[in-house]
Structure formats: C-alpha cells, structure tokens
Amino acid sequence: MGNRETDRPSLASLFVGFVRIGMMSFGGGLAAWTRREVVQNRGWMDERQFLSGYALSQLVPGATNVNLAVFIGTQMRGVPGALACFLGLTALPVVIVLTAGTVYLHSHAGAWFSIALSGMGAVALGMNLGLGVRLSLNNIRRIGPAAITTGIALAIGVFGYPLPYVLAVAMPSSLLLAWWTRHR
C-alpha cells in the first residue's frame, strides 16, 4: 500500500499522530483509534501490517497499546520513531494526570473535585461494564463459561472478595472446564 502522507513520515508527524490517538480514547478503544489513524487516515501501514503488529504487541510484556505505538514507530523510523510514537501517546495523558493529581492534593479534597472524580469513575465503570457485557454476549456460548464469568462478577462486584483469591479459584476452574470440554 502506498503511503498517502509520505513514504517515510517525519518524527514530528509520528509524534502528532500519536498525541491525537492518545487524546481520542477514554477508557478503551485505543487500538481502534490507532488503526484508524495509522491505516485509514495516514496510510502509514496496510491492514495486514497493522494486524501483525497488533498481534505481536499483545504477545510481548507491557501495555498492548504502548507496545503497538513502539512497533509502529520502529517500522516507520527506527528507534527515533519508536520514541516519537511512545512520547506522543503518553506525554499529554501523563501531564493531565499529574496536573489533576496536583490540583486534587492542593485543593484539600474540595467537594467539586470529589464530585468530578466520582463522575469519571462512574463513566469508566459504565464503559467497562458495557464492554464486558458486549464481549460476553458475542463470545460466551456455553453454560460453563457463563457460570464462571457470572461467579467472578458476583464474587468481586457484589461480595467484595479480593481479586487474587477469586483468580486463585477461577483460573484453575476455567482451565479444568476447558480441558474437560475438549476431551469430552
């Protein structure tokens, strides 16, 4: 696929592109925004290159979207490109979080700030819950996985059990169920 912007995007273009990506996503969907910017809007990669990079980014340790930004930057401009994409993706969100934290600490936990944080927490919870329900409806087709998913949600969300204890029970149960289903 020919590159619509240039054969080799500038470091500034990579940085600005990833600043845009980092600021477009709230609570998820970053890979979709990255794909849209890199494949559709800028033409830096074709669909196949992007999906290969995305798969690789999920396999290596670290945050998938940061790994993906580093992969794209490396493919476009080597190490300087990786740094430009990484900084573009993370710099502005880090500044925003540090600024919000500083305001919070110096506001003596003002009521307005607590209300704003509660609202943001509710939005994030709603988005994650919606994503979980959507993924469950599309991917859980049998009663066993549905029971394990429901059990995890109830144990953590309703009964307040700590995540490590829930995972200590749910992971072996899920693996045993998968093994039993496969060998049945």
The pLDDT tens digits for 132-179 are: 777 677 777 788 888 988 899 899 889 999 989 998 999 999 899 989
How much is the pTM? Answer: 0.58
The verdict on residue 175 lying in a domain is: no
Label residues 119-137 b or e (16+ Cβ within 10 Å = b): eeeeeeeeeeeeeeeeeee
pLDDT of residue 120: 76
The verdict on residue 145 lying in a domain is: no
The verdict on residue 182 lying in a domain is: no
The verdict on residue 86 lying in a domain is: yes
The verdict on residue 117 lying in a domain is: no
pLDDT of residue 32: 83
- Domain total of the chain: 1
Range of the domain at 28: 1-106
Helix, strand, coil in percent for the chain, rounding step 5: 80, 0, 20
The verdict on residue 183 lying in a domain is: no
Arithmetic mean of pLDDT over the chain: 85
The verdict on residue 111 lying in a domain is: no
| pLDDT band, very low/low/confident/very high, at 2 (cuts 50, 70, 90) | very low
